[in-house]
Structure formats: structure tokens, C-alpha cells
Amino acid sequence: MYPRLTKGRVAVAGNRKLHFGKKYEATASQLSKDYNVVDHTYDAVVVGAGGAGLRAAFGLVAEGFKTAVITKLFPTRSHTVAAQGGINAALGNMEEDDWKWHMYDTVKVSRKPPVSDFIRKGGQAHRCCAVADRTGHSLLHTLYGQSLKYDCNYFVEYFALDLLMEDGECRGVIALCMEDGSIHRFRSKNTILATGGYGRAYFSCTSAHTCTGDGTAMATRAGLPNEDLEFVQFHPTGIYGAGCLITEGCRGEGGFLINSEGERFMERYAPVAKDLASRDVVSRSMTIEIREGRGVGPRKDHVYLQLHHLPPDQLAARLPGISETAMIFAGVDVTKEPIPVLPTVHYNMGGVPTNWKGQVITHENGKDKVVRGLYAAGEAGCASVHGANRLGANSLLDLVIFGRACAHAISQENKPGEKIGDLSPNAGEASVSNMDKLRFANGAIPTAALRLELQLAMQNHAAVFRTGDVLKEGVVQVSKAYGKMKDLKVSDRGLCWNTDLVETLELQNLMINAMQTIVSAEARKESRGAHAREDFKDRVDEIDYSKSKEGQKPKPIEQHWRKHTLSTQDVETGQVTLKYRPVIDVTLDEAECAHVPPAIQSPVSPSGVLRDATPERSLPNPSLDRNSDDEHMGFKDYLGAFFTVFAIVGSAAAYMYNTAHPNALHPFPKRTDALSSAEDLRAQMSSLKSQLYEQLAKWDEIQKQREASSEQFSGSLCCKELRADISELISRVGDHDLTSIAKELNDLKVAHDDFRYKSSEQSCGVKLEDLENVVESKIKSLKISQPVASYDVGSSGNAAYDYDKTGKPDYALESAGGSIVNTRCTETYRNSYSVNKIFGIPVWWWRPKPREVLNPDMTPGRCWAMSGTSGSLVIRLSMPVIVTSVTYEHIPVQISVIGNIDSAPRAFSVHALRSDRDFEGAHLGNFEFDKNGQPWQTFNVVNVPARPVEFVEFKILSNWGHPDYTCLYRLRVHGDLTMRPS
């Protein structure tokens, strides 16, 4: 507020008086135990204004219900805003799709361990509707805008304290207005909880600081159960401290994790797939490293993700967002330092149990019972659509579906302005007392300290690495932290914007959530979805679904774990009571869409085609689902082997290239160096060979496993071929028969493509398009990184041009670093339209600066349009080379301004310039284009320059002097490297 200036005293900055002076600070009214509680009455109250809350509110006001939305944050600041991925919808606009397939995927994912992002991505991309990476942002803003159109009452920056329960039904909520500390009771016929998750119960989470599970805690305090809180989805790499996600693509690009000893520890846990192992394997390995004391940092509680061994330009091109995020949130320059990361909470599958209408339920005497007047949606609710693990891009879908479902259920069963049951006069007194108690809490532990203690206990004991001892120890630690709530210290006694108080209230909520999570996790003695226990690695269903159903007697519910956990808690003592609820197996309308059985014996469809694309089929053939987890893991190993082979093949390619073109690429100017490097090369070759053998052995083993399993795997034939190719390759490596290796490599790639094609017909755990993406990117990165190991030629350009026809890279290629620097004394077009029209492609027309042109039909590069018959072009090569040849490629186009005349190139001369300001330069030769020859023609330079040249000028004569002709050329410059570039 305003500093009070007293006579004769100067107000000093830093000694701000936030209140009006001592006189008024501790008046009776300020410290009074009496609180004024304002009563409001509405048809419906929504707690939380994130996606689900807004969707519900918007649905309610549209139906004419008087609705209040209570939120501790301004609506557009909710965590929904941060959802990047997208929202799933089987629109079928990209390719054939069906919502039943979506359901199938959701169910499948819900049962199995988390899948790596980069495995999942492509598979969903076509079902995933997105607004760039700001889907949540745009969804939330749209919803907020919509709800403002109607008459919706927002109570922004009101902190909901408790539900008001009367006779087992919910009649509203009590909330604290954070601005002035006033308390409000909202009496309403229906209340919707949409408060989000409780990621902040863990030390590292991707969610906002406000995700403190207020709704679930309120339900607990109201004596209601929470469901499946032990299922928490983790992401392996969040930035330490901030929790921001570092995409798994980083590891796809070649990044890896290291521990405090600088060891690349994933090699120990997943010798084959290494850092590309599945999400849960990576997360668990990281946690084990940390637990065994090999973590980094002062607390030794995280590890490093190293990227700086990758070329900086690759980082800049492929991971620009990561570079930025790492700099902002970890202060790390990814080209020089590793990023501190640890497994991070991503989503809470559990929450307040609801039915499909969003109505909150309890489970009594073997039956679900609706809690009247109470609904839940979004991350706070648990309709169990996510099961034990959430499919990517399904969270936003959850929001809109259950937000809408709540609104629908309310509008179906109620009318606006209906009579509402009375509140007892003392309703909410307990909440007020609780708040007052915390406000005057006078113990020893500051809120922030206790919160950190809780978060660390949860992070260390209830994160990804779950085993009996660890969880038990965690239960003890969290209970201890719970007990310390009585010894809290809150320093602010005020009421206006008392953030200390609000954080303490939030801590109370976090405690409740954390306690139930860890107790539920300790009790669940199996591995299912995101809950993976080291000591109980298998899923325990009522029958063994890997075998035929017949003859198996289902176990009673006490003996298996295919059931929901329902946790209630004595808030005073922290004691958690667990009950269990059977899973609902059938869909709402089995006739329309049959349920997906948990796992199935395998009747292979007669055709042998595993996933039929016809929409008449009700569901994808479930035969694949048998032991989907094992299948999945097996496939992962398989993939890993694949990658490794490709890595080896890639390095073989590099060696081969080195040896085949000693002049072109040999970096050693001296003979002795060359000799020693040859030795080195030989040694490397032999190690390569042994690596290949090793790989082959692994390959065989995997193959054997595959064959042993009864499943038919359509890719296996291909794999055999591939295997043969590899052994062939081994023998070639031994013989130093390098040219044939090159050919072999190519064939291998073809075989691999074939494999991809065939395997894409079946849908085993991983989507095959994703596999394709991964392998593609892997191949690309190999192509980039392998030659880079020796020097930095524009190797991606090499990939595009296939080393051209000279066996030498094109140093003029733009994507490799070459550029047009000048077009002196040349006439050009001044109008982009006409140029576009003439050439049919976007070209660089008259402009002070060259324009980037990306045309799908052209290799990425700059085009530049010259008007008239002659022109000049100064090209800066990607590095200084001894120019040996130039290629003049003529792209025949049948266009000209006056009619349909073939274009006709004629001649050009090439000059080597000392700098871009050099006008004369050394003449390299005059060349004439052979009219009847190939479209591309390579000319050897006549006067090979003695020194490396960086700038080359082409003086071009086109069209045989005819002004109306038009030509399109692509120019390339080849040469030898003489020295190692600095």
C-alpha cells in the first residue's frame, strides 16, 4: 500500500511499511477469531478454471445454469495452457481412422509401461490435432473467450478450502478470497471439481507450481475416496529444479546420459538400446544411479544429459528449443555443458473416482454409489479412461470430454433455479478453524522447508524405481513429514494476500495426496502401467491372460490386482485406508463398440493380416495384444540392435569413404601421418569387425526369442536377409573390399526399407511409422555425424547429392555452407510475381539480400533469377578447396516469356577469386555446354589453382544470345581438401 510519512522521518527504501503503521496493525479486528463468512447461492459451482473447469462452466451457462467458477489463478494462467502436444481425435481426415482404434490404443497404452516419446510421436500425429506446440494455450483461451460470452461469474484468486457436505451430498464449497482474506461459502446444487493434478508433491514435475491437488485433498477431507493415486506418469528427462521437459528427441539425436563418474551408464542397463531404451527403463536406470550415490550436484540427486559432443550446427538445427530451454532454466549452454536432468512427474492418472458422466462415486458393498451434487473432471478426476498409464495427447481430450460430460449430466438431472438443500449454520466452521490455525501456526519448520522434505521423500521413494523396501521407507518418511505439519511456522499473520498462508494450505493438500499415493503404491504388489515394481515385475490379473481362457478359474478379487485402489484418509493422523474396486470391463454399448479384453489368446486371423484397414471391423485384431508388454520389450531390444548395427554400418561407411578417397578427404598433409592413420584405420576396422560379430550374436538371440514365441512376425523373413547382409558385410570388411561394401550398404538400406514396409503392416506395440521416423533420423544423424568425426565438410549436402558424379562433395551447396554472395553487373527481374510465373519456382529476384528458397521440387538452395543472356554469380564455397571440376546442371523447362521454347544453355567461364571483392581472379577455364548431352555435365578445370579457393565466380552465357529464352541451372563446385579446416 502506501508508506506512511511521519513528520521528521524520512521513508527509507528497504524499510517499506506495507501497512498503515503500527497503530492499526494489530487491532482487535485483525486478530479476532471471528471471521465473516459471505454466503452465495448458485445453481452450480466449478472449482478450477483450467480446461476442464472452463469446459464445464461453459456447458452449464449455455444451458442457463447460474454458475460460479472459483479459481486460485486467472483462468488463462492454468496449467492447461502449457499443454503442447495436442489433442487426440479420430477425425480420419489424414488417413483412415476410427474412434474405436483410438480407444484400442488408449486401452493398450494404459496397460503397459510408458513408451518413449519418439516412438509414440508419429503414430499419433495424424490423430492428434494440434495448434503448433500451443494446443493447450489456444484451447484454454478459446474456452475462456466462449464462457465470457455468457453470463458466467468468475471468482478469480479465490482459494477453495473445502467441500460443504450435508447428508452425504455435496452442497457447495467454502473458499478464501486471497485478495482481502474474506471467506465465502458457495451453496450450490452441483459442484464440479476441476482442480488438476498434484505434480508438486514430487520434487521434479513438469506441472505448474499451482498443481497441488487441491480437489483430491478436498475430497479426502470430505471423507471421499481417491482412486488409483499410485499411477503417476514420469518423463525421464526434466530439467533439474525447474522440471521443464527436455524432449527424448535429444537422445534420438545422439545425446546420452552420464553420472557423476562421467560414465555413460545406460550402456550397463541396456547394452543394446542404450540411451534409446524405453522411457521407464531410462527413468529407472537414472533413479538407480542416483540411489547408488552416482548422482551429480550438491545433493547427488540428478544426472547429466550430454549433448555437447554433437556438432553445434546439428544442435542448432535439430534442437533449437532445447538449447533455449536449457539456457533459460538451467543456465546451460548445450554446446559446452551437459544439462542436469532427472525423472519428472508428467501426469497423475489417479484422482477423484467418477463414472462416465463425471459424477463422483464411492464404492460400498460391492456397488458404485454416486455422491450426489459432486462431479470431477480433468486431471483431478479419475474416470479411469487413462487406466494405469495415459496415452499422449489424451489429457486435453479428457478435459473437454469430462468437462462436457459433467455439464451434460447436470443439465439432464437439474433445472436452473431449482431449490437447493440448506447448509447447516456451522457448515465450513472446521475449514475456517483450520485456516486460522495455520495462519497463527507458530512451530519450528517453515512451510517451504517441509514442502521440500516431502517432495524429496516422494521423489526418492515413490518415483519410478519402486520396490518394497524403498516404498516402505518412503511411507515412514512421508508420514514423518505429515506429522511435522503440526510444527509448522507461518510468518505472515495478515489476511490480505497472505501467500505464506495459501502455500501452507497447499502444502496440506500436497501432504494428503502424497500420503495416499505412497501408501497405495506400497500396497500394490504388481507392475501395471506406470506403476512398475522391481520386486513384483509382472501384472497380476485374475487369470493368466497369456494362456487360453478356458480351464482357468478367475481368482477372487483379493488375490489379483486388476482392480482400482480407493484410498481414504484420516486427515488428523494421516492414516490411509485402502479399499479396492473392481474394474469395469465392458463399454457402455457393447453392440456399438466391444471392449478390449485385457490380453488375449491368439487366434491369428485367417488372412494373416494383422491389422485390417477396413472400418467395418469393430476393432483391430486383438491377437497382437497378447502379453503386449513382453512383445513391446522384445521389440525394443530388437530396435536397439537395429540402431547399433546402423551405427556400425555408418562408421564403416565413413572409413570406407576415407580410404577410397584419400585425397579428397584425407586430413593429413604428411606421409608419416598418413601411414600412422592407416594403421589406426586398420585397428579400427578390426574392432569394427568384432563389434559386428557381437551384434550379430545379439541379433541371433533376439531372432531366436522371436521365433520361440508363437507369434508370427512378418518382418522376420526380412530380418534373416538383413542378417545375411551383415555377415556378408563382415567378410567384406575383412577383405578391405571397400567398393563392394558401399554397394552392400546401399542394398542393406533397401532391405531395411523393405523391412520397414513389411513390418508396418502389423501393429505391434510400437507404431511402425514411428520406427521409420526414428530410423530415418538415425540414418540422417549418422550421415551427418560420421564424416564430421574427421572433418566438417558439408556432409548433409553430400547425402543429398550422393557425392555427385565426381566422387567429391559439392562445396557450393547451400545447405552445406555454400552461398551466393554477389551477382555483380547482372540484370535481374524486379518483380517476384513474373519471376515465379516464368520459372515456376520461387527464385531470388532483385533484392539487397539473398532470399532463402525452399521448394519441395528443388533441392533446398538459393535460386537466383537473371534477366537477359549473360550474368555473373559469385559463390562462396563452404570451405577453401582446390577446385578440380565444376558441374553445370541444366534443368530443362519448357517455358519462356514468348511461348513454348526449350531452354538452351550455352557456355560459361569460371574464375577463382581471392576474396569477394576481387574482380579479376584466376581464370579456371571456359566451358561450353553440350546441347545434345546429359542435363548435367561435369567439366574438369583446366588451370587447377595452386592454392585453395573460397570464392568462385561463374560468368554465364545463356540462350545462345536469344533474349527471350529462359534457363534453369544448378551449379556445383568440386575440389580437394588440402588442409584440415581450422
Partner 1 sequence: MTRDARMRSGLQRQVLSVYKRSLRAAKNKPGFYENVRSEFRRNAAAVAKQDVMHIEHLLRKAEKKIKLMTDEFVQSVRTVRATDRPESK
Q: Which is nearer to partner 1, 74 or 440 (CB)?
A: 440
To partner 1, the closest distance from the beta carbon of 501 in angstroms equals 13
Task: Quote the CA–CA distance of 699 and 644 in Å, as a whole number.
Answer: 10
Count Cβ neighbours within 10 Å for each residue of 268-281 and write b for 16 or more, e otherwise: ebbebbbbbbbbbb
CA-based radius of gyration for the chain:
34
Dihedrals φ, ψ of 893, to 5°?
-130, 135
- φ, ψ of residue 287 to 5 degrees: the values are -65, -40
In whole angstroms, give the CA distance from residue 402 to residue 389: 18
Q: Which stretch binds partner 1 (CB under 8 A): 295-303, 428-436, 506-514, 563-571?
A: 428-436
Q: C-beta of 23: minimal distance to partner 1 in Å?
A: 8
Helices (DSSP H) in 302-419: which residue ranges? Answer: 312-318, 320-330, 395-413
Q: Which residue from 309, 437, 547, 736 is in contact with partner 1, where contact means CB under 8 A? A: 437
Contact status: 189 vs partner 1 (CB under 8 A): no
CA dihedral 353, 357, 362, 367 (to 10 degrees): -120
* Alpha-carbon distances, residue 706 vs 273, 601, 702, 760, 768 (angstroms): 17, 17, 6, 17, 17
The answer to whether residue 573 forms part of the interface with partner 1 (CB under 8 A) is no
The interface region with partner 1, picked from 35-43, 519-527, 608-616, 881-889 by CB under 8 A, is 35-43
Task: Measure the CA–CA gap between 371 and 416, rounded to whole angstroms.
Answer: 20
Give the whole-angstrom CA distance, residue 676 versus residue 673: 5
Catalytic, out of 279, 318, 439, 524: 279
276 annotated binding-site participant: no
- How many angstroms separate the CA atoms of 338 and 333, rounded? 8
Find the binder of partner 1 among 6, 93, 424, 433 (CB under 8 A).
433
183 scored as a contact of partner 1 (CB under 8 A): yes
Whose Cβ is closer to partner 1: residue 35's or residue 580's? 35
Tell me: does residue 436 bind partner 1 (CB under 8 A). Answer: yes
**What sign results for the dihedral spanned by CA atoms 80, 85, 86, 88?**
negative
Closest distance of CB 506 from partner 1, Å: 20
| 49 labelled ligand-binding | yes
Smallest distance, partner 1 to C-beta of residue 64, A: 15
Does residue number 441 form part of the binding site for partner 1 (CB under 8 A)? yes
Grid cell of 217 as nine digits? 485433498
Q: Which is nearer to partner 1, 26 or 825 (CB)?
A: 26
Closest approach, Cβ 445 to partner 1, in A, equals 14
Rounded to a whole number of angstroms, the minimum distance from the CB of residue 174 to partner 1 is 10
CB of 563 to partner 1, least distance (A): 39
**Residue from 93, 424, 442, 855 in contact with partner 1 (CB under 8 A):** 442
Is-contact 678 655, C-beta < 8 A? Answer: no
Q: What does the chain come to in residues?
A: 982
Residue for grid cell 503404491: 521
Nearest residue (CB) to partner 1, 312 versus 416: 416
Q: How far apart are CA 464 and CA 471, in angstroms?
A: 11
Instruction: Specify the residue, 38 or 94, whose C-beta has the smaller distance to partner 1.
Output: 38
The response to whether 966 counts as a known ligand-binding position is no
Number of residues that bind partner 1 (CB under 8 A): 35
Instruction: Decide the pairing of beta strands 488-489 and 445-446.
Output: parallel
Q: 257 in helix, strand or coil?
A: strand
Residue selected from 8, 293, 425, 606 as contacting partner 1 according to rule CB under 8 A? 425
Beta carbon of residue 432, minimum distance to partner 1 (angstroms, whole number): 5
Binding mask 6-25 for partner 1 (x = CB under 8 A): --------------x---x-
Output the nine-digit C-alpha cell for 683: 585397428
Among 17, 40, 137, 923, binds partner 1 (CB under 8 A): 40
Burial 221-247 (b: 16+ CB within 10 A, else e): bbebbbbbbbbbbbbbbbbbebbbbbb
The x, y and z cell numbers of residue 839, run together, are: 520459372
**Choices 261-269, 423-431, 582-590, 965-973 (CB under 8 A): range interacting with partner 1:** 423-431
947 marked ligand binding residue: no
Interface with partner 1, residue 894, by CB under 8 A: no
Shortest Cβ 440–partner 1 spacing (Å) = 5
How far apart (Å, rounded) are the C-alpha atoms in residues 949 and 876? Answer: 9
| Span of 27-35, 302-310, 681-689, 880-888 interacting with partner 1 by CB under 8 A | 27-35
Largest CA distance in the chain: 103
CB 371 within 8 A of CB 352: no
User: Which 725-784 residues touch partner 1, going by CB under 8 A?
Assistant: none
387 is in an annotated binding site: no
- Print burial letters for 896-925: b (CB count within 10 Å at least 16), e (below 16): beeeeeebbbbebebbbbeeeeeeebbebb
The span from the CA of 66 to the CA of 58, in Å, is 11
The one segment of 30-38, 388-396, 618-626, 948-956 that binds partner 1 by CB under 8 A: 30-38
Q: Is 37 in the site for partner 1 (CB under 8 A)?
A: yes
* 617 labelled binding-site residue: no
Known catalytic residue: 279? yes
Q: Any known ligand binding at 443?
A: no
Binding partner 1 (rule: CB under 8 A), the pick from 18, 39, 133, 735 is 39
* Angle, in degrees to the nearest 10, between helices 395-413 and 51-62: 30
Q: Which residues pair with 905 in a beta bridge?
A: 958
Q: Which C-beta is closer to partner 1: that of 425 or that of 603?
A: 425
C-alpha 230/C-alpha 565 separation (Å) is 8
| Binding track over 153-172 against partner 1, x by CB under 8 A | x-------------------
Nearer to partner 1, 425 or 856 (CB): 425
Residues flagged as binding site for FAD: 48-53, 71-86, 214, 379, 395-396
> Binding residues for partner 1, per CB under 8 A?
1-2, 4, 20, 24, 27, 29, 33-42, 66, 68, 153, 180, 183, 187, 425-426, 428-429, 432-433, 435-437, 440-442
Residues flagged as binding site for substrate: 235, 247, 346, 390
Active site residues: 279
Residues flagged as binding site: 48-53, 71-86, 214, 235, 247, 346, 379, 390, 395-396
